[in-house]
Homo-oligomer: A and B are copies of this chain.
Amino acid sequence: MEMPAPSAAVLAKRDRIVERLRKLLPADAVIDDPAETRAYECDALTAYACSPLAVVLPSTTEEVSAILGLCHAEQVPVVPRGAGTSLAGGSLPTEDSVILGVARMTEVLETDYDNRFIRVQTGRTNLSVTGAVEEDGFFYAPDPSSQLACAIAGNIAMNSGGAHCLKYGVTTNNLLGVTLVQMDGTVLELGGAHLDPGGLDLLGVVCGSEGQLGVVTEATLRILPKPEGARPVLMGFFSNEIAGACVSDIIKAGVLPVAIEFMDRPCIRACEAFAKAGYPDVEALLIVEVEGSETEIEEQLGLILQIARRHEPEVLREAADADEAARIWLGRKSAFGAMGQINDYICLDGTIPVSKLPEVLRGIRELSRGYGLEVANVFHAGDGNMHPLILFNANEGELGKAEALGADILTLCVEVGGCLTGEHGVGIEKRDLMSVQYTPADLEAQMRVKDVFDPAWLLNPAKVFPLAASASRRIAAE
């Protein structure tokens, strides 16, 4: 997208701010050359882009505090950024904002196996948290598909999940404490390596707050001992409805797989073409994984296969060895990349009660026909977290139509008792749908909490809340 040139006022302000920032930080930690700031114009929601005023890359909590203190004094908006993998535009800049990127903050600060936690700077990637402890037999459970790239900072901002969150919970269930720098530069320590302490649980509201309340610079994360083994099984069914019913039955039976993933035919074909995972060409595919000792695996799989057989599967295949297991997961985890090869797409994140799966899949098919756009489905079925991928052709100007279909699908999710977003966050993408999810009183209560932490509404502007509401809040504060 071509950007208009910045105005003279913006340029003058930029020069002053950048000059002051350079006094706080090493020379290479302040970027204002437009050729370099271009890399920060957008995140993984690439349909939207905007050049920031400048980019800063601090290395410590103290530097973050100094940056925020300065921007607070100068009333400059700040957009916190992890690895820029947000699918919801969670780190999209505005032209008057400074991007505060935590990419250089990757240190492991403390590892404590006795008490099963690790403390890291939040620029560290999700996978490299596990990387720091896996030789000692531990792992960090939440596993977004982007885990190779995405930063813990963004995981906390979006309360990210992943395929294995059915058993282990999402980020909030694995986050013990954070260091939070408030917009005025003051530093709070929230939570710690113990049960929730007394007082108001600010950690709970910071997790998932999408950079609206402060910048999280350090995090204490729960680590778990690696299970002895794990085994996925592939199940192919004749229809989405049958696969959905099978998921419901597994959940009801009380057996707890670590993951139940669902893909429909358009998604299966794209993944197969891309990753050669050996997926069968069926209408609907489930990947169900169990873990534990060999005995536990056998016992759980026995029960799951028995349930699956009642739904007359076309295919039922246990991974024979570790290689095959890895290939099965590679296919699933590359689903978004695979779709991106052949189409423009919007990835939704609506979440529904598990029993509504067949109904919602039918509704999506009808809506998709009405708009004349294909929708591929791939999602964490076990906890009802859907990721419908709306396929469209940007060059033919279909983005608007795709967004309208997305809004209709998310509204359907809310109508059946679900919500707009399970793990990707609201960002800019869903801000104006928030009034579908929440009453004016609900939103007002949330915005009053935002007022507490960021009275001038400088942090990560124009996101999460309906644009009109956050704009009027910003103006009222000025």
Contacts and interface: CB of A to CB of B under 8 A. Distances in A.
A392 B190 CA distance: 35
Contacts of A226: 254
Interface stretch (A75-83, A280-288, A443-451): A443-451
Interface in A435-477: 437-439, 441-443, 445-446, 448-453, 464-465
Given A202-B446, A353-B115, A452-B449, A192 B419 contact: yes
Interface in A177-228: 182, 186-190, 192-205, 207-210, 212-213, 224-227
A201 B198 contact: no
A296 interface: yes
Interface in A216-255: 224-227, 248, 251-254
B189 A354 contact: no
Contacts of A439: 188-189
B355 A115 contact: yes
Interface in A92-136: 112-116
A437 B198 contact: yes
A59 interface: no
Nearest to A205: B205
Contacts of A114: 248, 251-252, 353-355
Interface in A287-308: 293, 295-296, 299
A437 B197 contact: yes
A192 B417 contact: yes
Contacts of A152: none
B195 A384 contact: yes
A172 interface: yes
Contacts of A299: 293, 295-296
Interface string A389-427: 000000000000000000000000000011111110110
Contacts of A192: 417-419
B441 A224 contact: no
Q: Choose among A213, A295, A430 the residue with the greatest number of B CB atoms under 10 Å from its CB.
A: A295
A85 interface: no
A275 interface: no
A44 interface: no
A6 interface: no
A385 interface: yes
Interface residues of A, number: 86
A11 B370 CA distance: 68
A198 B426 contact: yes
A66 to B, nearest CB: 17
A385 B449 CA distance: 30
B200 A450 contact: yes
A195 B383 contact: yes
A418 B452 contact: no
A302 to B, nearest CB: 10
Nearest to A434: B199
A442 B204 contact: no
A334 interface: no
B296 A199 contact: no
A340 interface: no
Nearest to A114: B355
A11 B96 CA distance: 59
A37 interface: no
Contacts of A384: 115, 194-195
B201 A207 contact: yes
A352 interface: yes
B420 A197 contact: yes
A159 interface: yes
A137 interface: yes
A420 B205 contact: no
Given A113-B252, A201-B159, A449-B202, A187 B441 contact: yes
The 5 closest A-B pairs by CB, nearest first: A204-B204, A225-B254, A197-B419, A114-B355, A198-B426
26 contacts: A114-B248, A159-B196, A170-B195, A172-B201, A188-B442, A189-B439, A192-B417, A194-B384, A194-B419, A195-B383, A195-B385, A197-B420, A197-B437, A198-B425, A199-B434, A199-B446, A200-B209, A200-B213, A201-B205, A201-B208, A203-B204, A204-B205, A204-B207, A225-B253, A296-B299, A445-B453
